[in-house]
Amino acid sequence: MFLLEPAQWRWALAALIVNHLILTAVGLWPRSHGLGPNWVRLPAAAAAGHIAITIDDGPDPVVTPQVLDLLDQYSVRATFFCIGNEAQRYPSCAAKSSGAAMR
């Protein structure tokens, strides 16, 4: 078999690295359509003057209160996606972000 020969491993590894570099470049290149379409405008069905804000990877005892204060200052609603371990570690932050989403 081709890949079972140690002499071929470096070529297989090089091909894998090149493949990943190409995928990364295509995915991160601005306005690239290689991995699907980019939205530059909201669909017509979206409510005029509205956007969706999502806050991910929390709650964090330092950042979450600051974000909540900023959202409250401008009367903005947002959706918070919490990491289970972080929500268990900081239950009061999770509860505050949950309450903010209900306003």
**Dihedral class, residue 59 (left if φ above 0, else alpha if ψ from -120 to 50, else beta):** beta
pLDDT in tens, the chain (103 residues): 555 777 788 888 999 999 999 999 888 887 788 878 777 776 777 767 777 777 777 888 888 889 889 888 988 888 888 888 888 998 888 888 776 544 4
pTM as predicted: 0.50
Residue 96 to residues 33, 41, 64, Cα–Cα distance (Å): 39, 32, 9
* Per-residue pLDDT at 103: 47
* Per-residue pLDDT at 100: 57
* Per-residue pLDDT at 102: 46
What residues pair up with 81 in beta bridges, in sequence order? 56
**Residue 57, SS3 per DSSP:** strand
Cβ atoms of 44 and 19 within 8 Å: the answer is no
